[in-house]
Structure 1
Amino acid sequence: MTSPRIFAAAGAVGAVVALGALAGCGDDEPSAGPPEPTSSSGPASEEPATQATDPPTGATDGGATAVPAYYVGDTPQGPRLYREFTRVAGVDRLVAAAAAVTTGDPVDPDYRSLWPRGRFASVATAGGAIEVQLADGGWLEAGSLDAQQAELAVQQLVYTLQGALGERLPIRVTYDGAPAATLLGVPVGDGLRAAPELDVMALVNVTEPAEGTAVGDGFTATGRASSFEATVPWEVLDASGEVVVEGFATAEGWADKLYPWTAEVDVSGLPPGSYTFVARTDDPSGGEGGGPTEDTKRITVR
């Protein structure tokens, strides 16, 4: 499979790299990154990461590596976080991850960032924590975000930075050389931690195929979900929206968090063209409560 986009950047001073240099894109597939932590309702530094990430597979090209970024999409439960992998080269992983949230644009058109565009002065590990330094006071207040949006935007940053690092380190926010009291109006004086997955994450997320992937006769679909009895139905839709291939995957668990799932998808009987892969949560209620959560990815069958 081939999938889109690579970020590249240059310029570093010691362990702290200024943001804002991230640029560039391409069509190569991301390579694997380090493990991603699961969320915790306790302090970020108390529990080790226990669940490995499932980044897109593929060969490393010129030192590029895959970094997870979390964006917002609409679900029956309201706005929730979805994960998208971005390939980066020539820049620190934390810098790239932060820039993907605040200055980047998701490839998937169903995703968006709640962050006002801009950059941090720096982001780096220091003293057993991830330290984020604000460039100015503009992000101390929520601005146009309401309280719920601000909380979710902060979780975007927390999940993204901890995922990029592969460690559940505490996150400290500083401004003008001192600890910041707020970030987007959210109190951060005691540091930041990840909220429980089921409180902020979409209940299904597709990792592969990535948005815009070109496939051959078949592909392995992967992702994470918390779905009834661990069942993850999936479909391939043609350009008219008709279901042309369907099946289901069984995740490794359900109910308490998101679990990995995998499906082998055979598209050898389809003519070349544009299609959409859809994975969703199982919905035994028949649509009560808003219906299933979905994640869609546009693909091209060669």
Structure 2
Amino acid sequence: MSVRTRFAVLLSAAICLGALAACGSDRTAEDPTPASGSTQGRAESPELSEPSESAAETVAVPVYFVGDTPQGPRLFREFRQVPADDPASGALALMTSGDALDPDYRTLYPGGSFASVQVDADPMVVELPDESWTTAPDGMSQDDARLAAQQLVYTLQGVAQARSAVAIQLDGAPADLFGLGGELADEPELDVRALVNVTSPEEGATVSGTFTASGVSSSFEATTPWEVRAEDGTVAAKGFATAEGWMDKLYPWETEVDVSDLAPGTYTFAAMTDDPSGGEGHGPTEDTKTITVG
């Protein structure tokens, strides 16, 4: 076993302890909200600051979906434009329908939507559409039910810019969501979120020259490798970003990606966690976005 591998194995125990120690702390300020339809010129506003309005009619908010990782299903985030007069309802409609831009993302909700939502209260309040949502539907495991609840909590906390709990009601009375209880709190992000998440470029973005890629990660020694892959899977460009930290939570990363030498066409931008174990562990977590080089 190499020195790098032995260090990674020993470090995994420290990571677990660090994650437990972080359970009671606030999540770090994360990557800024991207400008709609652009991979550059993002406003410098972290996740827990006020959402930035891109137009009078809409506002950008974080919406959480589910994707597959080596650790199992985890939460991935997209910043989406929703009606400014009721951003919480707009965000939940996207979340429950699974209307993600990235085809790798999905929802754990069975269809339909919440009857109402109130985010200017502590705890925040959501009203179930009917009694069927009080128990887990057929085929939903307990782990999936828990992650579905975290989809809801993380999305509403991002919209409200507050770490409030979420109270579940049915016809105005306390109720359970999928049998999990009537008041839900956020779980530590390293337990429920993907260890790397690309914010920019967005899925389907058109880029040229040099563009700024950004996101969040918790990766070995804060190193977040990235690749630009051609349609046949070959690596056309690669490099790495250095995040602002690692181990205890997700931290922002940002890097410049030069595609000026690439032929116009469709590519995949991939960011991943570093894997010092050489494949002996879970392997790297990855988030990919389809891009067009103009």
2:37 maps to 1:54: no
Q: Per-residue deviation at 1:84?
A: 1.1
2:65 maps to 1:71: yes
Task: Say whether the 8 Å CA contact 2:207–2:293 is kept in structure 1.
Answer: yes
2:178 maps to 1:184: yes
Structure 1: segments with no counterpart, 5+ residues: 1-39
Task: Say whether the 8 Å CA contact 2:30–2:251 is kept in structure 1.
Answer: no
Q: Per-residue deviation at 1:53?
A: 4.6
Equivalent of 1:250 in 239, 242, 262:
242
Task: Say whether the 8 Å CA contact 2:98–2:106 is kept in structure 1.
Answer: no
The CA distance in 2 between the partners of 1:233 and 1:112, in whole Å, is 25
The CA distance in 2 between the partners of 1:228 and 1:274, in whole Å, is 30
Task: Say whether the 8 Å CA contact 1:231–1:249 is kept in structure 2.
Answer: yes
- 1:180-218 CA-to-partner distances (Å, cap 9, x unmatched) read 1x2112123xx2110001101110000000100011212
Q: Per-residue deviation at 1:54?
A: 2.1
- 1:159-193 CA-to-partner distances (Å, cap 9, x unmatched) read 0110111111221111122111x2112123xx211
The CA distance in 2 between the partners of 1:155 and 1:237, in whole Å, is 32
Equivalent of 1:118 in 112, 115, 120:
112
- 1:58-97 CA-to-partner distances (Å, cap 9, x unmatched) read 5824432211111111111111111111112354111111
Computed over aligned residues only, the root mean square deviation of the Cα atoms, in angstroms, reads: 1.7
Q: Per-residue deviation at 1:107?
A: 1.1
Equivalent of 1:202 in 164, 172, 194:
194
Q: Secondary structure at the match of 1:249?
A: strand
Counterpart position of 1:153: 148
Task: Label 1:167 to 1:186 Cα distance change in 2 as closer, same or farther (>3 A).
Answer: same
Task: Say whether the 8 Å CA contact 1:234–1:246 is kept in structure 2.
Answer: yes
Equivalent of 1:219 in 203, 208, 211:
211
What's the TM-score, normalizing by structure 1?
A: 0.81
Counterpart position of 1:27: none
Counterpart position of 2:161: 166
Task: Label 1:300 to 1:175 Cα distance change in 2 as closer, same or farther (>3 A).
Answer: same
Counterpart position of 1:3: none
Counterpart position of 2:262: 270
- 1:272-302 CA-to-partner distances (Å, cap 9, x unmatched) read 1100000000001111123100000000011
The CA distance in 2 between the partners of 1:284 and 1:49, in whole Å, is 25
Task: Say whether the 8 Å CA contact 1:108–1:211 is kept in structure 2.
Answer: yes
Counterpart position of 2:99: 105
Task: Label 1:156 to 1:127 Cα distance change in 2 as closer, same or farther (>3 A).
Answer: closer
Task: Say whether the 8 Å CA contact 1:125–1:131 is kept in structure 2.
Answer: yes
Q: Secondary structure at the match of 1:254?
A: coil
Q: Secondary structure at the match of 1:158?
A: helix
Task: Label 1:118 to 1:91 Cα distance change in 2 as closer, same or farther (>3 A).
Answer: farther
The CA distance in 2 between the partners of 1:128 and 1:242, in whole Å, is 50
Task: Indicate the larger mover: 88-97 or 131-140.
Answer: 88-97
Task: Say whether the 8 Å CA contact 1:216–1:301 is kept in structure 2.
Answer: yes
Percent of residue pairs bearing the same amino acid type: 55
Task: Label 1:238 to 1:77 Cα distance change in 2 as closer, same or farther (>3 A).
Answer: same
Structure 2: segments with no counterpart, 5+ residues: 1-21, 37-52
Q: Secondary structure at the match of 1:183?
A: coil
Task: Say whether the 8 Å CA contact 1:232–1:250 is kept in structure 2.
Answer: yes
The CA distance in 2 between the partners of 1:114 and 1:292, in whole Å, is 24
Counterpart position of 2:280: 288
Counterpart position of 1:241: 233
The one-letter code of the counterpart of 1:164 is V
- 1:30-50 CA-to-partner distances (Å, cap 9, x unmatched) read xxxxxxxxxx845xxxx7675
The one-letter code of the counterpart of 1:140 is T
Task: Say whether the 8 Å CA contact 2:59–2:84 is kept in structure 1.
Answer: no
The CA distance in 2 between the partners of 1:224 and 1:52, in whole Å, is 7
What's the TM-score, normalizing by structure 2?
A: 0.83
